[in-house]
Amino acid sequence: MSELVRLTDITKVYQGGVTGALNGVSLAIEEGEFTAIMGPSGSGKSTLLNLVAGLDRPSSGSVTVAGSDLGRLSETGLARFRRDRIGFVFQFFHLLPNLTALENVLIPARLKSRVSAESAGRALMSRLGIGEVADRYPSRLSGGQQQRVAVARALINQPTLLLADEPTGALDTKSGDQVMALFAELHQEGQTIVLVTHDPKLATRYAARVISMLDGRVIDDARLETTERKPADVIRVRSEEPSR
């Protein structure tokens, strides 16, 4: 495995912030890892994820992703980095209500002006078990379906790194489990994933590494033997997948 992400001595102080949101974080993530970031509210999880995504810049320290030192990129370069390298999934889906599910999935592909995007989008949605709802508007989908649309949108440009900030936080237990099983399956296919969660059960059940944060610092970093990536979960989320 080769190294995909390296954070070196990162600090982040927000404008008007009394204490630092991050206070000296150094860590590396290998290609293909499924890492969960845990920690109490305010410990700096989202701040860390946003820096890796190139959505924000650190106050000091360096962030390198797939060989790019993000601090050396211009705003345009950073936007291109996000488009080409990063898939991001949010807690509250952030789907555009006036676009269909498929049109939402295709937004990043359109930014890249990929010609054959529509058939790729439909194939991806069907793989994620949402092929049948591709032409519906988000308001007519369940929370779990909306989040799978958001995952499809994050994956459409085949990102190097899939990042998710509390992707199950707004879902019921069953939908949350389906989304996590989907992440586990993507990980088994080689996708590098970093996921923020409050839920220790989900983190230890699905992720292979758990980083714990407190007050802007990493206080624990554990690689786990994951026990329960049940094939049944994987089959359930892939029920619509045509044979490949």
Residues at the interface with ligand ATP (CB under 6 A): 14, 17, 21, 39, 41-47
* Min CB(165)–Mg ion separation in Å: 6
Stretch that binds Mg ion, among 40-48, 81-89, 109-117, 150-158 (CB under 5 A): 40-48
Q: Which is nearer to Mg ion, 157 or 197 (CB)?
A: 197
Stretch that binds Mg ion, among 45-53, 77-85, 99-107, 182-190 (CB under 5 A): 45-53
Which residues are 68's β-sheet partners? 65
Say which entry of ligand ATP, Mg ion, none residue 77 contacts (CB below 5 to 8 A, set by partner kind).
none
Q: Which is nearer to ligand ATP, 47 or 204 (CB)?
A: 47
Q: Which is nearer to ligand ATP, 90 or 100 (CB)?
A: 90
* Min CB(217)–ligand ATP separation in Å: 11
* Min CB(128)–ligand ATP separation in Å: 25
Say which entry of Mg ion, ligand ATP, none residue 21 contacts (CB below 5 to 8 A, set by partner kind).
ligand ATP
Say which entry of ligand ATP, Mg ion, none residue 191 contacts (CB below 5 to 8 A, set by partner kind).
none
Under 8 Å between Cβ of 49 and 196: yes
User: In angstroms, what CA-CA distances link 50 with 11, 86, 225, 244?
Assistant: 13, 11, 27, 35
3-state SS string for 83-130: HHHEEEECCCCCCCCCCCHHHHHHHHHHHCCCCCHHHHHHHHHHHCCC
* Min CB(62)–ligand ATP separation in Å: 19
Q: Does 178 bind Mg ion (CB under 5 A)?
A: no
